[in-house]
Structure 1
Amino acid sequence: MALTVQITVDAHDPARLAEFWALALGYELEAPPAGFATWDEALDAWGIPADDRNRASALRDPNGTGPRLFFQRVPEGKTAKNRVHLDVRAAEGVAPEDRMAALESTAKILVSAGATRVERHEPDRFGKGHLVMQDPEGNEFCLD
């Protein structure tokens, strides 16, 4: 039996990072619990003070096929290169001659949302080419 996966990301600002990744992946914020129209309504009902509401955020794939992403606030900062990273498949189905332009187009949108470009890898005999990026908190990912 296969198990499902949730990807958990440590963050200083879970709401901002969730907003970035929702844009990057076409995901949606997790809906509030049943019986509540908004998260603020739920948090008010649970007595969570306003200054303690950005402890976590979650995203889901609107098609129900991708993993849930969970962002949790932690006090420490990022100190080293990720050992695991996401490959955002931004050029699937694009003709090889248009692939890098498609990746560059996506990179431009993500940079405007707070990402940083790290390096570009041109297509060669070992791969189709990709862009190495960092999200707004410095977590590496690739546009592939």
Structure 2
Amino acid sequence: MATIRQVQVTFDCAEPVRVARFWCEVLGYVTPPPPEGFATWDDFDSTLPPEERGAWFSCSDPTGVGPRLYFQRVPEGKVAKNRVHLDVRAGTGLVGEERLATLQAECARLVALGAVCERVLFADEENESCIVMKDVEGNEFCLD
């Protein structure tokens, strides 16, 4: 039996480059260099047929630890809650007010990038606080 060693997270979206650049800022990810012979991704993109321009984009963790993120254009818009979402681990190891303050500071940074804060889930007897958010195209994710 083969062992899976890597995973890629794929986002369906309307504007792959825009969404990819948002997630690069959120996670500290980087975009790969353009294909050989091209100075920029825009230069490469301009050589494609019009219907393929901007159809996909990707980014990756510069440390090689996190999964590659792939963004592909789809014709339909988002119509329901995500079945899978990312948890951005901004408060790992923190509890109580310190955790909440850290999450709220990160929330403010992400809102400035175009994210939307949906709701804050305050700590209870079982769970620590987290913040439910949406990215620049409305995909849900959590600050946790």
Q: TM-score, normalised by structure 2?
A: 0.89
Structure 1: 5+ residue runs without aligned partners? none
Pick the aligned partner of 2:32 from 30, 33, 45: 30
Distance in 2 (alpha carbons) for counterparts of 1:91 and 1:106 = 9
Pick the aligned partner of 1:15 from 11, 14, 17: 17
Q: Which amino acid in 2 is paired with 1:127?
A: N
| Match in the other structure for 1:3 | 5
Q: CA deviation at 1:53?
A: 2.6
Q: Which runs of 4+ in 1 moved over 4 A?
A: 49-52
Distance in 1 (alpha carbons) for counterparts of 2:45 and 2:87 = 34
Question: Cα RMSD over matched residues?
Answer: 1.8
Distance in 2 (alpha carbons) for counterparts of 1:51 and 1:111 = 31
Query: Could you say what secondary structure the match of 2:107 adopts?
Result: helix
> Size of the alignment, in residue pairs?
142
Query: Could you say what secondary structure the match of 1:82 adopts?
Result: coil
Q: CA deviation at 1:48?
A: 1.6
Contact 2:45 2:54 in 1 (8 A): no
Identity %: 49
Distance in 2 (alpha carbons) for counterparts of 1:10 and 1:120 = 26
1:40-119 residue pairs with structure 2 within 5 A? Answer: 40-44=42-46, 47-48=47-48, 52-94=52-94, 96-119=96-119
